[in-house]
Amino acid sequence: MNPLLTMKRFVFRAVVFIPVLTSATVFAVQPVPEPASRPQWVHIPSTDESRNFYLDRSSVRVIDGDVEAWDVVIYSDVTQKDSSSGRTIKEKRTYRRSSCSRNDQALLKGAIFDEDGKLIESVAQPYESAPKVFIPYGTIAWSQLIMACELAGLPTPQPFVNGVKAPSN
């Protein structure tokens, strides 16, 4: 066997395999990022049998005295259609900032998904420009506000009657 040919094969193998081993070694010693926390969906009781409501307890956080969290509505009776795409809506996910003292909320992010889990539409807006919507007592949104405030350790909202806060019991 020709020693020069053997040397060329060795050099070729070294050039091809050593960078692979080196890059594998580099990746092996780099720290693996922590996985994002998995959602912990808590069911929000409702008498509406066509939809199920959930709040993600792992996303609850307090920002400037307000509470932010992800929530989801899953339609069991899939009949609602998205007006622009015509696709059937199965799920709506929203990230809201709510006030436990003012009883209002602002939609910061939202997404609508079809029956196959494919995105239909998404929106995002900063809190400063998001409309603040009053949360009426006795609604699903009210139940969600109570749950989010409790999970965040904030005072429980009190219902308003004719624009005046009702006395607490």
Dump pLDDT digits (tens) for 37-88: 788 999 999 888 899 999 999 999 999 999 999 999 999 988 888 988 999 9
Rounded to an integer, the average pLDDT of 134-157 is 93
Strand pairing of 66-75 and 89-99? antiparallel
Give the distance between the most distant pair of CA atoms in the chain: 99
pLDDT of residue 162: 53
The b-or-e profile of 13-47 (16+ CB within 10 A means b, else e) is eeeeeeeeeeeeeeeeeeeeeeeeeeeebbebeee
Domains of the chain: 41-159 (2.40.128.710)
Q: Angle CA(90)–CA(95)–CA(101) in degrees, nearest 5?
A: 130
Question: Of 34-38, 117-121, 137-141, 151-155, which range is least confident?
Answer: 34-38
The length of the chain is 169
With cut-offs at 50, 70 and 90, classify the pLDDT of residue 163. low
